[in-house]
């Protein structure tokens, strides 16, 4: 089993990045990949290039026989059983490996969607909640790819509001089956999956999960949806008409289906975030290749400043996204390692993953919106050709849009980020309120922390400033609305935006700091430049969001006073981002792809 060396000392708490400082050696980055990680990354990359990419056109036209064959081949390579325990035919590798595979396999959105639904939300409910009998029966086939899994939660009237589902389950007269009636919508892999995790309400209100085989009486699949993107994946409704499900196929406890529904989504979210970063890496490579050969006004467009600006922003984002994704799964693996002999107890592993629910939602939101930026700018670089189907930019543009809907919409995830943080603060799990009070006392008294020293001092100071601004705005909002802040969605969303950007900034700086410690600042000037470009843009977003929150919570003299404090907090010397982007673009254009060093 691949493992990550545990972070020294106590476990890092989820969300604690807002109130605690991390040292570079406390975070896991791609530079910490083991030989086994690198080998798996190479295997996944080769599989994607040799098996997925040559079959894109066939999959776009819904040749699902090829899709199933590729799922099976991925299983033969061990890529599909990474999260399945060894005793049930899986590889049982760490979460870093899970993220690596999701990252490297993301060459084509249609197959990434199929594979992600199968290996994550289609398999993990049984891994985490299945009985011994259920695990022995179903997991070996899922791990090998012989059996394809799917997950059926959404309905026409209950997407994000999953607990409002209408599908009903009633125990049969002989007590041997549950009879399910209802319809599920937008189910990935439905056209060819063998096994479905389906949610229904028992006795009208007990939200429960069931394992349904395709051949069960009363189960049928509707017509394929004609989608804007991810056309190579199957998406159909499920129709349950007195579908007979043996009582032994109840998954978990009656009435506890929400634990299953929401726990596995955390894994789906960090994998989706990693996959978005992988997609961005592919997009920048094709955009650079096109920009280097397309000529306008007597020279290639890769020489134009505004094109180079786009490419530099893509590179800076990829650097940051990698840092965030592997920092998050590294914390999970370190915490799982600290379980000791309990690391095989799936209930304990679930608790560890749930600890980082905030970070998982951050990755999902950030990754899905970053890849949207990348594909949009890719179309712009391609110009008219970017609007034509025979070029990759057009398909990528269509395929990534759904990521902001998958695994809980970004709106729901923003509310979850702020809601989870406030809930943990109120329960005492995270001393957020104490940190807010301390900051409020500091700003009102006019005192300030001493300046940073050492490697990347200015960058680290900006991260500290971002945390202060976020806490300051959150403090003002919670003082005004108290518990009722849950009803102020715009404010909750703005606090989430500040939280997301703070985590992204700190991740980028810690990664650059780690590289600088290893190679010297001169030896990793490219990485430092990418971090600086990212944090410059992030600070602008944080300042804007904080102004919005303050203006919504105060008026008159109080508003002017709080804005004056914000201006004091936001006082810093900007980086020359024009020069930084020019240097970044020069490096990646010369190389022909995103590079770290």
Number of residues assigned to the chain: 597
* Token pair listed for 196: 């479905």
Distance set, CA 280 to CA 61, 85, 315, 370 (Å): 24, 31, 9, 8
Distance set, CA 431 to CA 435, 467, 479, 499 (Å): 6, 14, 16, 16
Distance set, CA 437 to CA 120, 434, 443, 496, 571 (Å): 41, 5, 10, 19, 22
| Whole-number pLDDT of residue 436 | 87
Strands (DSSP E) contained in 96-205 are 149-152, 168-171, 177-188, 195-202
Within 10 A of 259 (CB to CB), how many other CB atoms are there?
Answer: 18
Q: Does the global pTM surpass 0.85? A: yes
Contact 393, 286 (CB under 8 A): yes
| Whole-number pLDDT of residue 158 | 74
Rounded Cα distance between 228 and 231, Å, is 7
Rounded Cα distance between 559 and 48, Å, is 54
Catalytic: 389? no
Nearest C-alpha neighbor of 83 from the set 94, 75, 74: 94
Active-site residue identified among 92, 394, 407, 543? 407
| Whole-number pLDDT of residue 340 | 81
Nearest C-alpha neighbor of 372 from the set 335, 338, 350, 397: 397
Nearest C-alpha neighbor of 122 from the set 161, 163, 152: 152
> Is the C-alpha dihedral spanning 371, 372, 377, 380 positive or negative?
positive
Note down pLDDT in tens along the chain; length 597 residues.
Answer: 343 443 444 579 999 999 999 999 999 999 999 999 999 999 999 999 999 999 999 999 999 999 999 999 999 999 999 999 999 999 989 999 999 999 999 999 999 999 999 999 999 999 999 999 999 999 999 999 999 999 999 998 876 676 778 999 999 999 999 999 999 999 999 999 999 999 999 998 999 999 999 999 999 999 999 999 999 999 999 999 999 999 999 999 999 999 998 888 899 999 999 999 999 999 999 999 999 999 999 999 999 999 999 999 999 999 999 999 999 999 999 999 998 877 778 888 899 999 999 999 999 999 999 999 999 999 999 999 999 998 999 999 999 999 999 899 999 999 999 999 999 988 888 898 889 888 888 877 766 666 677 889 999 999 999 999 999 999 999 999 988 999 999 999 999 999 999 999 999 999 999 999 999 988 999 999 999 999 999 999 999 999 999 999 999 999 999 999 999 999 999 999 999 999 999 999 999 999 998
Rounded Cα distance between 402 and 116, Å, is 14
Rounded Cα distance between 7 and 330, Å, is 9
Contact 170, 247 (CB under 8 A): no
Q: Which residue has the tokens 């607990």?
A: 163
**What values do phi and psi take at 354, rounded to 5?**
-65, -30
Rounded Cα distance between 429 and 442, Å, is 23
């Amino acid at each position: 089993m691949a493992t990550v060396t545990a972070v020294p000392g106590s476990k890092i708490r989820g969300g604690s990045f807002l109130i605690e400082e991390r040292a570079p050696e406390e975070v896991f980055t791609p530079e910490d990949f083991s030989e086994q990680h690198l080998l798996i990354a190479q295997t996944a990359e080769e599989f994607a290039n040799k098996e997925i990419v040559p079959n894109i056109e066939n999959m776009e036209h819904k040749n699902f026989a090829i899709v199933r064959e590729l799922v099976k081949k991925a299983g033969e390579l061990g890529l599909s059983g990474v999260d399945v325990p060894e005793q049930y035919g899986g590889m049982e590798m760490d979460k870093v490996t899970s993220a690596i595979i999701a990252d490297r396999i993301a060459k084509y959105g249609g197959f990434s969607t199929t594979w992600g639904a199968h290996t994550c939300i289609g398999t993990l409910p049984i891994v985490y909640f299945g009985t011994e009998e259920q695990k022995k029966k179903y997991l070996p086939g899922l791990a090998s790819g012989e059996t394809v899994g799917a997950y059926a939660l959404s309905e026409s009237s209950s997407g994000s509001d999953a607990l409002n589902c209408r599908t009903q389950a009633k125990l049969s007269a002989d007590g041997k089956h549950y009879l399910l009636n209802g319809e599920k919508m937008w189910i990935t892999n439905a056209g060819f999956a063998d096994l479905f995790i389906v949610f229904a309400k028992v006795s009208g209100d007990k939200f429960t999960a069931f394992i349904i085989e395709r051949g069960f009486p009363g189960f049928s699949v509707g017509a394929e949806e004609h989608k804007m993107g991810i056309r190579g994946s199957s998406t159909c409704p499920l129709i349950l008409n007195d579908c007979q499900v043996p009582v032994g196929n109840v998954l978990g406890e009656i009435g506890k289906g929400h634990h299953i529904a929401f726990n596995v989504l955390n894994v789906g979210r960090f994998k989706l975030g990693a996959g978005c970063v992988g997609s961005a890496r592919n997009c920048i490579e094709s955009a650079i290749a096109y920009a280097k050969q397309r000529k306008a006004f007597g020279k290639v467009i890769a020489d134009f400043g505004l094109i180079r600006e786009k490419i530099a922003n893509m590179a800076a984002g990829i650097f940051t996204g990698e840092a965030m994704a592997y920092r998050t799964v590294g914390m999970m693996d370190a915490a799982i390692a600290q379980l000791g002999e309990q690391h095989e107890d799936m209930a304990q592993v679930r608790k560890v993953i749930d600890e980082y629910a905030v970070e998982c939602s951050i990755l999902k939101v950030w990754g899905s919106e970053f890849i949207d930026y990348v594909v949009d700018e890719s179309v712009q670089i391609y110009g008219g050709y970017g609007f034509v189907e025979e070029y990759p930019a057009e398909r990528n543009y269509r395929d990534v849009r759904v990521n902001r809907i998958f695994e809980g919409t970004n709106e729901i995830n923003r509310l979850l980020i702020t809601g989870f943080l406030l809930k943990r603060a109120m329960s005492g799990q995270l001393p957020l309120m104490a940190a807010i009070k301390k900051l409020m006392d500091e700003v009102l008294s006019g005192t300030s922390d001493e300046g940073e020293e050492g490697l990347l001092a200015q960058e680290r100071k900006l991260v500290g400033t971002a945390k202060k601004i976020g806490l300051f705005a959150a403090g003002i909002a919670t003082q005004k609305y108290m518990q009722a802040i849950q009803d102020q969605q715009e404010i909750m969303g703005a606090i989430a935006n500040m939280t997301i950007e703070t985590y992204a900034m700190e991740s980028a700086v810690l990664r650059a700091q780690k590289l600088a410690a290893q190679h010297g600042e001169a030896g990793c000037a490219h990485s430092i430049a990418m971090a600086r470009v990212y944090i410059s843009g992030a600070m602008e977003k944080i300042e804007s969001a904080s102004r919005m929150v303050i203006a919504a919570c105060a008026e008159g003299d109080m508003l002017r006073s709080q804005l004056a404090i914000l201006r004091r907090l936001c006082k810093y010397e900007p980086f020359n981002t024009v020069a930084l982007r020019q240097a970044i673009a020069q490096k990646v254009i010369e190389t022909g792809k995103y590079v770290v060093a």
